[in-house]
Structures are given as C-alpha cells and as structure tokens.
Structure 1
Amino acid sequence: MLDALTLDQMRTFVAIAETGSFRAGAAKLLRVQSAVSHSIANLEGQLGVLLFDRSGHRPVLTAEGQTLLTNVRDILLRVDAMRARARGMGEGVELELPLVVDTLFPTTILGKALSEMRSQYPSVAIRVAAQPLGEPINALLEKRCKISITVGEHFRDPRITLEALSSIAMVAVVSAQHPLGKREKTLDVADLADHLQIVQSDPSPLTEGRDFGVISPQTCRVSNQDMKHALILAGLGWGRLPLWQVERDLREKRLVRLATRSLGRDSQVMSEAYLAHRVDEPLGPAGRALAQALLHLCSELPS
C-alpha cells in the first residue's frame, strides 16, 4: 500500500500540520475541506497509523504523525529540488557556478548576492574560492571558474571582459602598540622601510617578478588576507588592508592609520573592483543573476 502514496497527500499532510486545522489547510491548498479530510484519511489508511488526534476542537499531531512529518518534509524537499534541477537543465541553467573572488572584495556583499541568485536558482551548486591579486583572472584564463571578481588595474587580458562594480578603500595600518603606531611625527618612506611590511603573496603566475606597493626590504609574505590582518594586529609589522575589514579595529583603536603622506591621503587609496568573465564563454542564467545582484548591491554602496 505504501507504493500508492502520492505527493498530493504528503503536501496536504504538511499543510494541515503547519496551519493547525483541516479548514485552514484546505484554504491554503485552495480546496474544499471534505477533499482534504478524505485525502488524510486515505493517507492514514495506507500508512496504517493515525496522523492526527481529532478528539479535541482542533486536530493535534499524534506521536506517529510528528515523526512521519519529518520524513514527509524531507521527501517533498528532495522532490522540489529535483524538479528545480530538471527545470534548470531544460532552461540551460548551470549545474554548478564556480567563482573566484579577490580577497579584497567585501564578503557581506558577496554573500547577499549569492543568496539572491540562489533564491532564483536553488538547484545550482556554488563553489567559491577567495584568492588575491592575479588569481581571479588566472582562474578564468585556465577555465577553472565561470565568473570572478578582481580588484585593481594590474590584471588585464583581451580574453576577459570586465565590468566595474565598486571602489574598495585600502588603508595602510599598523598595530597601536607597534613603534610606528606610537610615532607622533609624520612618517616618510625611510621610516616605513625600517620596519617589517606584511605583504600578500600571489598564487598566480601573472605577477611573477613583480611586486605591488612593497616599500620595505623587510617583508613577511602571507598566503591569505586573514593571516595578514592577524599578523598586523599582533604587531608584527605594517601593511595595507581593505577598510571594510579593519573599520572596527580602527574604531576601537587596536589598529591605527600610518601617519604618512607616502601611502595616499590619510594613508588611504581607492582600488576598483570588477566583475569578470571570459569573452568566449557568456554567463548562463545563474551567472547573469549573480552579476545583476552584485551590480545592484554595489550601486547602493556609498560612493
């Protein structure tokens, strides 16, 4: 008899459980109450258990009903996911959307954009890598991702199309306990060169033999932005970090801006973030939805 169970019966069961009554469940499903009652009676007969205690004013889930409700919700979730994936295949929706995002790009904006995309295409799997410098472009060139976000003007290739998203403020900072953080006079390049600079390494071959913004002969090279942030906070050295990452540290005076005019006004420079993809591989529906979400969210940021 279990083979005779229908998805309609399961959806009816969930509707009554969630609304608390046969009448409200029927209204939610746009059906007459007698049809809903008949559907649940058939379901109980096929399962061989009572799902609802009808002795009171309102139906109450039995212990068996509570247990089976979890199973039914799981089944419906899987069926809906399968339908969404099948619908996506018919529409040419990507099965997976791999993307590489510059470590300087705000993670909150990325998270919101991905959530918006997923609301439209829930069947699409997401694979995100946060990589610095040339790697977002390199990943596109090597076809390891479909879309990327890159920051700065150093990485251009005619095979890659770029669309500006927003400006990223980069701030030269140091721990408030570091000797440079305690200096009251304006610092010059020689002062900075006397201390260790924390520098982001590039995992791609695009910057081989080149350095960007390296002033000090004393460097500590790190593989990710969080490590750079942690080492600067610990007082090991100084370096540039995105303002969104250090705003709280600056506000609570764990970090201070370097008192120098050599690294931009108020030790701050602006870098442009770009949405990037290959010219010969146009974005699919999910990729376009993500791009639109990013553009919309970035347009609302203060300029």
Structure 2
Amino acid sequence: MNSLISLDALQTLDAIERRQSFAAAAEELYRVPSAISYTVNKLEEDIGVALFDRSRRKAELTPIGRLVLEQGRQILKASEELTAMISRAVDGWEVELRICIDSVLTCGPIYDLIEAFQRIQPKTEIRISEEVLGGSWEALNDDRCDLVIGAEGASPAPGYAIHSLGKVKFEFAVAADHPLTKQPMPLATSAIQDYPTVIVADSSKRAPARSSGLLDGKSRIIVPTIEHKIEAQCKGLGVGYLPSHRIKQELAEGRLVLLTLESPRLPEDISVAWRRGNTGKGLNWFVGRLKQMSLDPQQGVLTQDIE
C-alpha cells in the first residue's frame, strides 16, 4: 500500500510551521512559493482534509494539520536516524554491539571502556548481557553477542579468536560464624561434606552444563550469579569457592572468612573471545583496547599493560 503522505510533504509542513510562512519555507527549501503551495494543496487533496485554516489573514494549522505535523516530525526523525545508521554501516561501524560479561568479573572497568568508545562513536548502541561459565560461549556461538569478556576455560569449538586476560584466583570462604571456622586447618574433604555447597548455575540453555569448583557436598544451593553466591555464603547458607577479588569488602567487614583446604582450587584462565571474521569497527576497537589490558590478580580489575 502506497502512503499518501510523502517525506517531502512532511518536510514542507515542518518548514512552514517553523518559519511561520509559505514564503520563508520556500526560501529554506530552495523552492519558489508556488511549489510550496502546490505541495500543501496536493497533500490536502490526497488525504481529503484541510491542513491549514485559510479563513484568516495568516494561514494557520488546523487541529488535523497539527496532528499530521507532530506525527510527521517523528517520521522525519526516524528517517534521519535510519539514514545515519546506513551511513555508519557502510563505514563499518555497527548499529548495535552486543557485549557479554561473564559473572566472574565486575562491570566497572568495562563501563570505563564503553564511556571511552562513546566519545568516538556515540551512535552505536551497546547491549550488555551477563552469562555464567558455558553460557558465555553459548551466547557467542548462538550469535546472541559479538564479544565475550571473561570467558572461562578453553574454547569449546573452533572458529573463535581468543585473547587471554589472565587468571582468576578463588578462595574457600564461609560466614564468620560458620561451624567450619572452628575446625583444624587445612580442612579435609570429609569435613566439608556435612554442609551445602553454594554453586552458580551454568547459564547454558542447550549445551551440557559446565561446573566449576564443586566440593562433593551432600546438598547444593544453586544461584544465578556470583553476586548471589557471595550473599548466600555471607548468610551462612552454604560454603564454596569465591573469586578473591569479589569478596575483599566482605572479608574486611568480617562477613566472610577464608579457610584453607587440603586440596585448594587452582586459578582459572579467563579470556576475551569473539568470532573470527567479524570485522566490525566497534568490535575491533574493543578488542584492541582489551589486548592492552590484563586482569590484576589481587584487585580483580582490568588494568592497562605497561611495556
């Protein structure tokens, strides 16, 4: 179905209302006044309603004319935005860039990168999501994100480019008043089995769920994110490993204490990952900055590498 209202007609109405006369609108649009009058008359004829009240000395918009103009300006704005999107896409900038952050990391340093990116490319929409363990890789594989920051472990399939950020250190932590704090150290596995283990659920939807740092306890409390896991362990609901950089405040406040085990957990490799062949300028900008950064094992933040 062809629209009776063209962009040209809407631009003409907009210019008339802003400049307050047909003659001034003609000057702005580089047309003769008769062309402006023809455009308005043709639009009124096509839609079957008067847009201007001509009974007065100065033509004014009718209520219907005001409605057409107000809605038309939204169409003009959308048209301008679409044109800009096409221009950016032609130049190689993404209309939308989807960044997945693994739950093991905090988002603060990533937001600093986004702020820097917006200064050079403010029109690219950034969409942030959070995944856990295999969910990060699955999001990349299913094209639900363009970039993963903090992907744990090795790539489950070929076709991804990877840059290592470093290793995350994990500590066994319990609530300050937990019964395990009264046990001799290092703790044996048999001592832990009497208490629930708090684990973060793998956010994979289809792939077999991956696990990390399980302690073979009799029961488990499954939570969706590291943040929930920290809170559950602070309340004494269970025990488990936590990223050391995520619990500094809880340790300082005495809400958590660290215990040693006979078999401590090894640090976990985390990486930046993206699909090979993705040549978007926004993605390349983030990858370039992230390649100059690494994870501070003590603070748990991404810091600029100094060569």
TM-score range, shorter chain: 0.5 to 0.7
Helix, strand or coil: the match of 1:206?
coil
* d(CA) in 2 for partners of 1:278, 1:297: 20
Q: Which residue of 1 aligns with 2:303?
A: 300
Q: Which residue of 2 aligns with 1:141?
A: 141
Give 2:18's aligned amino acid.
D
* d(CA) in 1 for partners of 2:93, 2:163: 22
Note if contact 1:81-1:123 (Cα within 8 Å) is conserved in structure 2: no
Q: What are the Cα deviations for residues 30-58 of structure 1, in whole angstroms up to 9, with x where unaligned?
A: xxxxxxxxxxxxxxxxxxxxxxxxxxxxx
Query: Would the alpha carbon gap of residues 206 and 195 (structure 1) be closer, same or farther in structure 2, given more than 3 Å must change?
Result: same
* d(CA) in 1 for partners of 2:250, 2:221: 21
Pairwise mapping of residues 240-259 of structure 1 onto structure 2 (< 5 A)?
240-259=241-260
* d(CA) in 1 for partners of 2:126, 2:259: 39
* d(CA) in 2 for partners of 1:123, 1:92: 13
Helix, strand or coil: the match of 1:171?
strand
Note if contact 2:137-2:151 (Cα within 8 Å) is conserved in structure 1: no
Residue 199 (structure 1) shift:
0.7
* d(CA) in 1 for partners of 2:238, 2:250: 15
Q: Which residue of 1 aligns with 2:219?
A: 218
Query: Would the alpha carbon gap of residues 82 and 4 (structure 1) be closer, same or farther in structure 2, given more than 3 Å must change?
Result: farther
Q: Which residue of 2 aligns with 1:231?
A: 232
Give the superposed CA RMSD. Answer: 2.9
If the length of structure 1 is used for normalisation, what is the TM-score?
Answer: 0.66
Query: Would the alpha carbon gap of residues 184 and 235 (structure 1) be closer, same or farther in structure 2, given more than 3 Å must change?
Result: same
Query: Would the alpha carbon gap of residues 185 and 242 (structure 1) be closer, same or farther in structure 2, given more than 3 Å must change?
Result: closer
Q: Which residue of 2 aligns with 1:276?
A: 273
Q: Which residue of 2 aligns with 1:174?
A: 174
Query: Would the alpha carbon gap of residues 173 and 211 (structure 1) be closer, same or farther in structure 2, given more than 3 Å must change?
Result: same
* d(CA) in 2 for partners of 1:275, 1:165: 7
If the length of structure 2 is used for normalisation, what is the TM-score?
Answer: 0.65
* d(CA) in 1 for partners of 2:165, 2:186: 34
Which structure has greater helix proportion? Answer: 1
* d(CA) in 1 for partners of 2:164, 2:229: 26
Q: Which residue of 1 aligns with 2:189?
A: 189
Residue 276 (structure 1) shift:
0.7
The 10-residue stretch of structure 1 (229-238 or 80-89) with the greater mean CA deviation from structure 2: 80-89
Q: Which residue of 2 aligns with 1:198?
A: 198
Computing the radius of gyration over CA atoms, which structure comes out larger, 1 or 2?
2
Matched, 1:119 2:134: no
Residue 188 (structure 1) shift:
1.0
Pairwise mapping of residues 6-85 of structure 1 onto structure 2 (< 5 A)?
85=85
Residue 120 (structure 1) shift:
1.7
Q: Which residue of 2 aligns with 1:22?
A: none
Which structure 2 segments of 5+ residues have no match? 1-15, 21-77, 295-301
Give 2:141's aligned amino acid.
L
Note if contact 1:188-1:260 (Cα within 8 Å) is conserved in structure 2: yes
Note if contact 2:163-2:291 (Cα within 8 Å) is conserved in structure 1: no
* d(CA) in 1 for partners of 2:283, 2:259: 40
Q: Which residue of 2 aligns with 1:97?
A: 97
Which one of 266, 283, 287 corresponds to residue 283 of structure 2?
A: 287
Aligned residues: 226
Query: Would the alpha carbon gap of residues 81 and 245 (structure 1) be closer, same or farther in structure 2, given more than 3 Å must change?
Result: farther
Q: Which 4+ runs in 1 deviate beyond 4 A?
A: 80-87
Which structure 1 segments of 5+ residues have no match? 6-77
Identity %: 22
Helix, strand or coil: the match of 1:207?
coil
Q: Which residue of 2 aligns with 1:165?
A: 165
* d(CA) in 2 for partners of 1:227, 1:118: 31
Query: Would the alpha carbon gap of residues 114 and 166 (structure 1) be closer, same or farther in structure 2, given more than 3 Å must change?
Result: farther
Note if contact 2:160-2:275 (Cα within 8 Å) is conserved in structure 1: yes
Note if contact 1:175-1:232 (Cα within 8 Å) is conserved in structure 2: yes
Query: Would the alpha carbon gap of residues 100 and 196 (structure 1) be closer, same or farther in structure 2, given more than 3 Å must change?
Result: same
Note if contact 1:98-1:146 (Cα within 8 Å) is conserved in structure 2: yes
* d(CA) in 2 for partners of 1:237, 1:246: 16
* d(CA) in 1 for partners of 2:136, 2:231: 23
Helix, strand or coil: the match of 1:186?
coil
